[in-house]
Amino acid sequence: MADNLPSDFDVIVIGTGLPESIIAAACSRSGQRVLHVDSRSYYGGNWASFSFSGLLSWLKEYQENSDVVTENSMWQEQILENEEAILLSSKDKTIQHVEVFCYASQDLHKDVEEAGALQKNPASVMSAQATEAAEAAEAAEAAEATEAAEAACLPTAEESLSTRSCELPAEQSQCTGPESSPQVNDAEVGEKETQSDAKSSTEQSSEILPKVQDNTETPKRNVITYSQIIKEGRRFNIDLVSKVPCSRADVFNSKQLTMVEKRMLMKFLTFCVEYEDHPDEYKAYEETTFSEYLKTQKLTPNLQYFVLHSIAMTSETTSSTVDGLKATKKFLQCLGRYGNTPFLFPLYGQGELPQCFCRMCAVFGGIYCLRHSVQCLVVDKESRKCKAIVDQFGQRIISKHFVIEDSYLSENTCSGVQYRQISRAVLITDGSVLKPDSDQQVSILTVPAEESGSFAVRVIELCSSTMTCMKGTYLVHLTCMSSKTAREDLERVVQKLFTPYTEIEAENEQVEKPRILWALYFNMRDSSDISRDCYNDLPSNVYVCSGPDCNLGNDNAVQQAETVFQKICPNEDFCPAPPNPEDIILDGDSSQQEVSESSVIPETNSETPKESTVLGDSEEPSE
């Protein structure tokens, strides 16, 4: 691989997250020679999507790499006397407190494997269920899988004996199931207490969710086993971070609002669209939160709730007045662009976005290398500019600009950085939180914080029509800013809206709540608010991109990409419209096209587009 790489580029991008992928595509589109590398075996970084077995493999990878640090001194031979090296991290520390729970029936058979799988991926051994999944994917004997699962359940010296412990390291998970999980009993005990709150919260939010046509019938709640999930694993596209509630008609048809409230709301929303033209209306409240500002307007508490949690969808405690007004204006401006909803959700999941930009970069000549790590950055001592990188093979590759994902920076470089955390949960359920007659494919629900120090939880529910889960199941993403571990932050909401699956309840058709078949909790690093000045001795031509933030959309990633691109290519347009398909010249046709144009229509030369980029077929980026 190293012998085949050129030794000189204009831009080297390290990491394939969304902002890095956009930058690589934009630079390549502008004629820059781009090298895009990632030590991972998949595109997207923490923005990636996985099949079910792929997710289990991702979990296993984090466990195995948690205590393994690969030492490679080949880079030292490439450092000259007037140069110094900035070592990069070989260990990803962005994921912590991983906990896996399986509630579906454990009926694994030796012939169970993922349907259509090209290869049998190893799965996570972080819990009994993950271990069994690995055995199933390998088509091992059922008895051996059971023995391995039982062995995995025995706590080691490093593991906590309490399933309630919040001091879990990044590589640790709980070994629980429907028989041993304390959450089952807790959910049953608290079900009567939280049932009314859950219903009111769900119904209020679902009233204002977008109406999306869905011709598929609501699937019956049949018994779904773990074997089915494994076998249909390729039907799942599970995002590590989920980015995707209402139209004007939905708001004003809501039974939750009186006619007087609807008039008040219309007047306020009209102001929000034009708020920048009326600074006197909000200048005095710029230093307060948006929640406090709403209290000063002629809005009832019910309307304040609607605006804050269902339209602006901003934090009640941290979002400023200006941030809230911007979010509300953006929401209103997005209505009607593609139907009634202001949101677009990509089929097959959020992970398709970084991949599409990777493909775009490759189309315009960018070179991609997965499973290709970078040992260090080479810095000139005199100019303090980065000159090159040294990869895992000891090859020195020169470039003018360097873009790097935050997770690749070492502890020495990030010693002064204070990171926030995001709490995430991914659930596979057998039913929807909405009413049975709902026709929605993507549902968004905001559950406000109940106590001081906690944060509102955003719930995104996806049905099989989004191509993210198998038929008869729903994929649910829960997200909030972290105050504790992910399970501690999110479990209260999970217990309100869902109930753990048990074989006894499976036969009871009167179960009101959707049942959880499988659950994953983890904390993810949020570096979106980190200033460049926080990093130690970073050369001016090295640009750092953050991972995912807690917001619903991808605004921060796009803004990062545009800012970095303008520094690299100050006189170029950021992601211009693609060329007309008729203007694209395929390889091997350029000479024939030139002859044809010069001999047949020479008078059109003055109108020929300035761009002469030769494009190939849009294929998967090479690894």
User: Which is more confidently placed, 328 or 600?
Assistant: 328
pLDDT tens digit sequence for 471-497: 999 999 999 999 999 999 999 999 999
What string of DSSP letters covers 557-613?
A: HHHHHHHHHHHHSTTS-SSPPPPPGGG-B-TT-HHHHHHHHHHH-GGGGGGS-S---
Backbone φ and ψ of 474, nearest 5°: -130, 145
- Facing residues of 421 across strands? 525
Confidence at residue 114, expressed as pLDDT on a 0 to 100 scale: 59
Q: Residue 217, Cα to own-chain centre: how many angstroms? A: 29
Residue 439 has pLDDT above 80, yes or no: no
pLDDT confidence band for 128 (50 / 70 / 90) = very low
According to DSSP, the residues that pair with 398 across neighbouring strands are 8, 388
Distance CA 180, CA 103 (A): 10
The model's pTM: 0.74
Residue 151 has pLDDT above 80, yes or no: no
Q: Which of 210, 61, 231 is nearest to 136 (CA)?
A: 231
Q: Which of 51-55, 168-172, 486-490 has the lowest mean pLDDT?
A: 168-172
Per cent of the chain over pLDDT 70 is 70
Predicted confidence band of residue 315 (pLDDT cuts 50, 70, 90) = confident
The pLDDT value given to residue 615: 31
Higher pLDDT: 339 or 565? It is: 565
**What are the residue ranges of helices labelled H in 341-463?**
352-363
Cβ neighbors of 49 (< 8 A, separation 6 or more) are 237, 238, 239, 240, 348, 349, 350, 351, 352, 468
pLDDT in the model for residue 524: 96
Phi/psi of residue 576, nearest 5 degrees = -65, 170
3-state class (DSSP) for residue 514: coil
**pLDDT, tens digit, 9 for 90 and up, residues 273-301:** 999 999 988 999 988 999 999 999 989 98
Judged by DSSP in three states, 373 sits in: coil
For residue 313, what pLDDT band results from cuts at 50, 70 and 90? confident
**In the 3-class helix/strand/coil scheme, how is 133-197 assigned residue by residue?**
HHHHHCCCCHHHHHHHHHHHHCCCCCCCCCCCCCCCCCCCCCCECCCCCHHHHHHHHHHHHHHHH
Residues in CB range of 616: below 8 A, 6 or more apart: 363, 586, 587
Neighbours of 241 (CB within 10 A): 25
For residue 391, CA distances in Å to 153, 166, 371, 536 come to 39, 38, 11, 22
8 Å CB contact between 361 and 21: yes
Domain 246-342 indexed as CATH 1.10.405.10: yes
Q: What is the pLDDT of residues 67-103, one digit of tens each?
A: 555 566 778 888 889 999 999 988 888 999 999 999 9
Instruction: Give the CA distances from residue 382 to residues 84, 387, 483, 560, in Å, rounded to whole numbers and listed in that order.
Output: 10, 12, 44, 29
Mean residue pLDDT of the chain comes to 76
Residue 587 has a pLDDT of 62
In percent, the amount of the chain with pLDDT more than 90 equals 42
Whole-angstrom Cα distance, residue 573 to residue 621? 24
Instruction: Give the list of residues 6+ apart from residue 56 with CB closer than 8 angstroms, or none.
Output: 121, 122, 123, 124, 130, 133, 134, 137
Instruction: Provide the pLDDT for residue 508.
Output: 54
Determine the 3-state secondary structure of 114 from DSSP.
coil
Rounded Cα distance between 498 and 195, Å, is: 10
Token readout for 88 is: 């990069």
Q: What is the DSSP letter of 88?
A: B
Comparing 595 with 192, the larger pLDDT belongs to 595
User: Per the structure block, which two tokens stand in for 15?
Assistant: 């990491």
pLDDT the model gives residue 136:
44
- Mean pLDDT calculated for residue range 44-53: 93
- Write down the pLDDT at residue 447: 86
- Residues 341, 245: contact at Cβ < 8 Å? yes
Q: Confirm whether 8-92+347-418+528-568 and 246-342 share one CATH topology.
A: no
The winner for highest mean pLDDT among 84-93, 166-175, 216-225, 555-564 is 555-564
Query: Which pLDDT value is given to residue 309?
Result: 83
pLDDT of 404 over the 90 cut: yes
Determine the pLDDT at residue 174. 37
What pLDDT is stored for residue 581 in this prediction? 74
Superfamily, domain 8-92+347-418+528-568: FAD/NAD(P)-binding domain (3.50.50.60)
Alpha-helix residue ranges (DSSP H) falling in 15-85: 18-29, 52-64
C-alpha 110, offset from chain centre: 34
Residues with Cβ within 8 Å of residue 173, at least 6 apart in sequence: 59, 63, 98, 99, 100, 124, 126, 127, 130
DSSP letters spanning 290-346: HHHHHHHSS--HHHHHHIIIIIS---TTT-BHHHHHHHHHHHHHHTBTTBS-S----
User: 535 pLDDT band (50/70/90 cuts)?
Assistant: very high
Within 8 A by CB and 6+ apart from 605, the residues are 597
Q: Give the separation between CA 361 and CA 367, rounded to whole angstroms.
A: 8
- Per the CB < 8 A criterion, the answer to whether 190 and 491 are in contact is no
Q: What does the domain layout of the chain look like in residue ranges?
A: 8-92+347-418+528-568, 246-342
Distance CA 601, CA 586 (A): 20
Asked if 481 and 315 count as a contact pair (C-beta separation under 8 A), the reply is yes
